[in-house]
Amino acid sequence: MLNQLLKKLIRTGSGRTRFILAIVGLSVALLLILSAVQLQSNYNDLLHSKTNQDSIANFLVINKAVTDKTVGATSLTDAEITDLKRQPFVDEMGVLTPSRFKVAAQSISDKIPFYSDIFFESVPDEFIDVKSDDWKWDEHSNFIPMIVPNQFLDMYNFGFATSQDLPQLTQELVKSLPIEIRIKDVIGRVTYYGKVVGFSDRISSVLVPQPFMDWANKEYGTTVSSKASRVVIRTKDPGNPELVGYLKDHGLTTDADKTRFSKYRQVVDTVVTISWFTGAVMLLFALLIFTLFIQLTVASCKEEINLLITLGTAPKQLQRFLMNQFFPPNILIVALTLIVLAVLQLLLKYFLEAQHIYISSFIAASTFVAAVFILAVLWLVNAMTIKKYIAATA
């Protein structure tokens, strides 16, 4: 009831257009700032998540450089592995286990005939960039899942197939192709079926699940436990001079040029920075307009506020009333911005999914925290401005 009377006395309607402009400005500012937070969060997700097929995080396969001196002695000692693991630039490290038995693969299909001696390697699952439900093995499994390097298929399709007049193969076709795996043991050959379940850009080797490797090495292993000669590490920045220096000092070398990822990173950083900066500046201006608007309202109702206070209206009552007039639009804006952002995130997810980049369908907790934080700042600025001008009028 008091509020209805106050509404009649303190008209907040004057300068509506300015208020709406301020609201639009604030919405854009919020969208920019929260997008920046969300982008950063998505980017961090990509950097750290284990589920991305083409993760932006950097994995390096490291081995000793083969030179005249190291020929035949490229295995890594335990001390070398432990030392590498201790380095600050190494987030995680996995050892590539080589097969210790002879193995050959042969096509069952007549249309695509091939036979080749091959070798297997295995690595802990978190270093694998392929997601597949078939990537598991136990002694009762019908087939051995394999992950092969993309380059193999490229070499076949663009080199071998064209020169030998053989059909080119798609990834899907290769995945559906049954392959006979022959493992040589002491008395002869044992035959298994294998299936390619994915293609990897990360480790240039034919990968099999770790449990199969452990089992097969025990069962068919001919050479005595061979030491690991390759390890894979995860690092945040492959361009880190420390890392490069360490590898050089220890006679180690790595594959792949990873500059592609550095480029992604630069783009994301730039976008995030611009978004942040623009958003922050706009937020500042929106706050300024809000402050001016409150000042204007209080000034235009100076006489009414004066008399209200003379009659015993508490400054607290007036502050609460004005707060109720000015603040709720802010909550609405923040809520709307979050909804818009959630929709954008979902669209982005579908867009990136098509490119085998996986991000969350939902906006991040950090975005919510940022939204609540901005809301708190808005509340504080509103409350302080109202308090100041009421006190100045009274």
Q: Give min distance, CB of 308 to another protein, in A.
A: 8
- Looking at 123-131, 212-220, 263-271, 311-319, which segment touches another protein (CB under 8 A)? 311-319
3-class DSSP assignment, residue 145 = strand
d(Cα 115, Cα 9) in Å, to the nearest integer? Answer: 91
Given 71, 186, 224, 311, the residue binding another protein (CB under 8 A): 311
- 1 lies in the binding site for another protein (CB under 8 A): yes
Q: Applying CB under 8 A, which part among 2-10, 28-36, 95-103, 282-290 lies near another protein?
A: 2-10
Q: Quick one: tokens of 64?
A: 């000793």
* Interface region with another protein, contact rule CB under 8 A, candidates 5-13, 267-275, 331-339, 344-352: 5-13
Of the pair 232, 390, the CB lying nearest another protein is at 390
**Nearest alpha-carbon partner for 327 in 282, 288, 369, 294:** 294
Q: What's the closest the beta carbon of residue 20 comes to another protein, in angstroms?
A: 25
CB of 298 to another protein, least distance (A): 16
312 interacts with another protein by CB under 8 A: yes
Residue with tokens 């990509």: 46
Helices (H), the chain: 2-9, 16-48, 78-86, 150-155, 161-164, 171-176, 210-220, 241-249, 259-300, 302-310, 315-326, 328-353, 365-393
Q: Shortest distance, CB of residue 307 to another protein, whole angstroms?
A: 6
177, 256, 309, 348: which one contacts another protein (CB under 8 A)? 309
Q: Are 31 and 283 in contact, with CB atoms under 8 Å apart?
A: no
Q: Are 259 and 89 in contact (CB under 8 A)?
A: no
- Would you say 46 or 318 has its CB closer to another protein? 318
Distance CA 43, CA 350 (A): 16
Provide the token pair at 276. Answer: 């942040």
Considering CB under 8 A, how many residues would be counted as binding another protein?
17
Q: What is the DSSP string of 263-305?
A: HHHHHHHHHHHHHHHHHHHHHHHHHHHHHHHHHHHHHHTHHHH
**Stretch in the footprint of another protein (CB under 8 A) among 163-171, 221-229, 304-312, 347-355:** 304-312
**Residue written as token pair 């609460």:** 320
Asked if 5 is part of the footprint of another protein (rule: CB under 8 A), the reply reads: yes
> Considering the complex, what minimum distance in angstroms separates the CB of residue 12 from another protein?
15
Contact 318, 390 (CB under 8 A): yes
Residue 314 binds to another protein (criterion: CB under 8 A): yes
Among residues 313, 366, 375, 383, the one that binds another protein under rule CB under 8 A: 313
Which chain residues interact with another protein by CB under 8 A?
1-2, 5, 8-9, 304, 307, 309-317, 394
